[in-house]
Structure 1
Amino acid sequence: MKSTKMVVGALLALCILGGSSAYTTFSKKGKWESLFDGKTLKGWKKWKGGEITKWKVEDGAMVLMEKGGGDLLTEKEYGDFELELEWKISEKGNSGIMYHVQEGEKYCCPYSTGPEIQVLDDAKHPDSFAGKEGNHKAGSLYDLLPPSDLTAVKPAGEWNKARIVINKGKGESWLNGKKVVDFPTQGPEWDAMVAKSKFKGWDGFGSFAKGSIALQDHGDKVWYRNIRIREL
């Protein structure tokens, strides 16, 4: 009996130790928090204040109807997180999802500080062909890293499911169930990437550990829905 208990105890210890990383990661995840109730824009604000216009709610989606609505930011700030949402872009359309956005007086716009996961009509928007090695494509870490799978995106007018994970200095961009970009969010590797991009020398770009999530007004009609987040 004693030997049996010892074996069971040893096996249990091995299981716990072997799965400690996964268990720790899971135990630290917060509860899912909805960022959009499907009916109102509660919890969102316009970049640097003012009345929200030209962003509407239609059929359970947050919609930028036309240019001039301005970028929308979450009222709450997030550090490490897992974000899930669905997006749909109009033909030839362009938008983006940014994280760790700051609203300091010296910053012109959310992308001054917040790295962007691209939302784009890859087939018809000119920017799709202008990026270095595809780093302006849908799902890319904009102007920094291209998606590994250019077939993951669905065409304009169809819903795409995005998942963005920022955790302990690492980031992931997922598109329709496929992880398309792995990237550092800090350190020498991050600095080297930025130095080769349009963001070289931008004070504050990608340098904050916490900030708002932003949805971009790039002048084209875009839809977002089923937006939820959990802190890690």
Structure 2
Amino acid sequence: MKKLVLLTALAVTFACKDKPKEKITQEIEAQTEQQESEWTVLFDGTSFDGWHIFSGMEITDGWKLEDGAMLLKPKHREEGKRFNIVTDKEYSNFVLSVEWMVSSGANSGIMWGVQEGDKYKEPYQTGPEIQVLDNVDHPDAKNGTSHRAGALYDMVSPSQDVVKPVGEWNHYLITINHDTNQGSVVLNDVKIVEFPVNGEAWDAMVANSKFATWEGFGTSRTGKIAFQDHGEPLVIGYRNIKIKEL
């Protein structure tokens, strides 16, 4: 975003070099404000407004608010119970900006196109996942590079490992655009994954994955965004979450 603003500022400067300095400054400020307004805050660090438990009600357990972040820190967990959370609103084409952090051995994921209802017990049954993982100590990291942080889970591996150490905050910029049939993941300012999101190429990827026989997986162009509770007693954190619809 900063690069975009800088380029815009340079373009305005050269195009308007004959204009008064005050006028140029006003135009730059106006365009910057417009670009920033394209983003919608999904989590402001103070409440869970706009989110709820998957196929459930408001968030009253499992997740906590600490230092401007939402942390998965369940005090008690009944066997088999999950605290997956999803957005109240559905999205189709978007860019999602989110910071994430994991404790040692932790596993989570960010999914899109998620459908709710009695038919589905987990968001991953319908929503493709961008992996959130401790690549060092979680055993899933040993199941292939398509299971590591930044991967389109079980389908597309990250081109390189730019994940920060456990306990530090990472940044994802996830783009899903069904109109242009493009998906991508930028991790810590490095584009590491690109993939189609529909059509024959998408179907081929699904057919070669563990999801090949899963009815409804990755078929919905519109759905909720989900953060996964993998069921382990470990801390997962998300913060500075915003979205730009395309």
TM-score (norm 1): 0.84
1:125 maps to 138
1:83 maps to 96
1:46 and 2:60 matched: no
| Greater shift in the superposed pair: 47-56 or 205-214 | 47-56
Structure 2: any 5+ residue segments left out of the alignment?
1-33
1:1-232 correspondence runs (5 A) = 31-52=38-59, 53-66=61-74, 68=81, 70-131=83-144, 134-150=145-161, 152-167=162-177, 168=179, 169-218=181-230, 219=232, 220-232=234-246
- Alignment RMSD, CA only? 1.7
Any idea what the Cα deviations from partners look like across 1:151-171, whole Å, max 9, x if unmatched?
Answer: x11121010000100112210
Task: Give the Cα separation in 1 of the matches to 2:216 and 2:104.
Answer: 33
Task: Give the Cα separation in 1 of the matches to 2:160 and 2:37.
Answer: 30
Any idea what the Cα deviations from partners look like across 1:2-48, whole Å, max 9, x if unmatched?
Answer: xxxxxxxxxxxxxxxxxxxxxxxxx9x98100000111111101011
TM-score (norm 2): 0.79
Structure 1: any 5+ residue segments left out of the alignment?
1-26
Task: Give the Cα separation in 2 of the matches to 1:204 and 1:103.
Answer: 11
Deviating 4+ runs (over 2 angstroms): 66-69
Task: Give the Cα separation in 2 of the matches to 1:128 and 1:194.
Answer: 20
Partner amino acid, structure 1, of 2:165: P
